[in-house]
Structure 1
Amino acid sequence: MMKIKCTLITIAFFTVFSAFSQTNLSNYKYVIVPNRFDFLKKKDQYQLNSLAKFLFEKHGFNAFLEGEDYPEDLKRNRCLALRSNVSAESGMFKTKLKIELMDCNDQIIYTSPMGESREKEYEKAYNIALRQAFEELGKLNYAYVSNENVSSLTSTSSTSQQLDVKNEVSEEIQELKAEIENLKKAKEIAKVEEKSDESPVVSKPNNREVSPELSKVITQPVNKKDSSDVLYAQPITNGFQLVDSSPKVVYKISKTGIDNVFLVEGKSALVYKRGNNWVIEYYVEDTMKTEALNIKF
Structure 2
Amino acid sequence: MKSKFLFSIAFLLLFSNVFSQTNLNNYKYVIVPNKFDFLKDKDQYQLNSLAQFLFGKYGFTALKEGEDYPQDLRSNRCLALRSDVLKESGMFKTRLKVELKDCNDQVIYTTGLGESREKEFKKAYNQSIREAFLFIRDLNYSYVPNESITSLATTTITSTSQPAAKREVSQEIQELKEEIEILKKAKLAAAKQDLIVKPKPVAELEPEIPPKTEIETAKPIVAKPTSNILYAQEISGGFQLVDSSPKVVYKIKSTGLDNVYLVEGKSAIIYKKGSAWVIEYYTNGVLKKETLNIKF
Report the TM-score when normalising by structure 1.
Answer: 0.50
Q: Equivalent residue for 1:133? A: 132
Q: Equivalent residue for 1:36? A: 35
Q: Which has the higher contact order (CA 8 A, sep 6+)?
A: 2
Instruction: Assess, with a 3 A threshold, how the Cα gap between structure 1 residues 30 and 242 changes in structure 2: closer, same or farther.
Output: closer
- Correspondence list, 1:157-172, <5 A: none
In the alignment, the residues of structure 2 paired with residue 118 and residue 147 of structure 1 have an alpha-carbon distance, to the nearest angstrom, of 41
Q: Equivalent residue for 1:243? A: 155
In the alignment, the residues of structure 2 paired with residue 63 and residue 235 of structure 1 have an alpha-carbon distance, to the nearest angstrom, of 21
1:107 aligns with 2:106: yes
In the alignment, the residues of structure 1 paired with residue 79 and residue 62 of structure 2 have an alpha-carbon distance, to the nearest angstrom, of 12
Shift of 1:243: 1.9
Shift of 1:138: 1.0
Q: Equivalent residue for 2:141? A: 142
Match of 2:90, SS state, is coil
Instruction: Assess, with a 3 A threshold, how the Cα gap between structure 1 residues 51 and 25 changes in structure 2: closer, same or farther.
Output: same
Shift of 1:107: 0.5
Match of 1:113, SS state, is coil
Shift of 1:90: 3.3
1:243 corresponds to which letter in structure 2? T
Q: Equivalent residue for 2:97? A: 98
Shift of 1:72: 1.0
Aligned length: 157
Q: Is the 8 A contact 2:77 2:154 kept in 1?
A: no
Shift of 1:9: 1.5
Shift of 1:91: 2.4
Deviations along 1:65-117, whole A, 9 cap, x unmatched?
11112111111111100000001113230111011100010000001111111
Q: Equivalent residue for 2:59? A: 60
- Correspondence list, 1:17-36, <5 A: 17-36=16-35
In the alignment, the residues of structure 2 paired with residue 90 and residue 125 of structure 1 have an alpha-carbon distance, to the nearest angstrom, of 13
Match of 1:243, SS state, is coil
Q: Equivalent residue for 2:195? A: none
Q: Is the 8 A contact 2:76 2:156 kept in 1?
A: no
Q: Equivalent residue for 2:13? A: 14
Instruction: Assess, with a 3 A threshold, how the Cα gap between structure 1 residues 98 and 66 changes in structure 2: closer, same or farther.
Output: same
In the alignment, the residues of structure 2 paired with residue 242 and residue 15 of structure 1 have an alpha-carbon distance, to the nearest angstrom, of 33
Shift of 1:244: 5.8
In the alignment, the residues of structure 1 paired with residue 26 and residue 80 of structure 2 have an alpha-carbon distance, to the nearest angstrom, of 9
Shift of 1:242: 4.0
- Correspondence list, 1:186-225, <5 A: none
2:120 corresponds to which letter in structure 1? E
In the alignment, the residues of structure 1 paired with residue 144 and residue 40 of structure 2 have an alpha-carbon distance, to the nearest angstrom, of 37
Deviations along 1:261-281, whole A, 9 cap, x unmatched?
xxxxxxxxxxxxxxxxxxxxx
What is the aligned-residue identity percentage? 62
Gaps in structure 1 of 5+ consecutive residues = 149-153, 159-233, 246-297
Shift of 1:28: 0.3
Q: Equivalent residue for 1:73? A: 72
Q: Is the 8 A contact 2:52 2:62 kept in 1?
A: yes
In the alignment, the residues of structure 2 paired with residue 29 and residue 110 of structure 1 have an alpha-carbon distance, to the nearest angstrom, of 15
The runs of at least 4 aligned residues of structure 1 exceeding 4 Å deviation read none
Match of 1:12, SS state, is helix
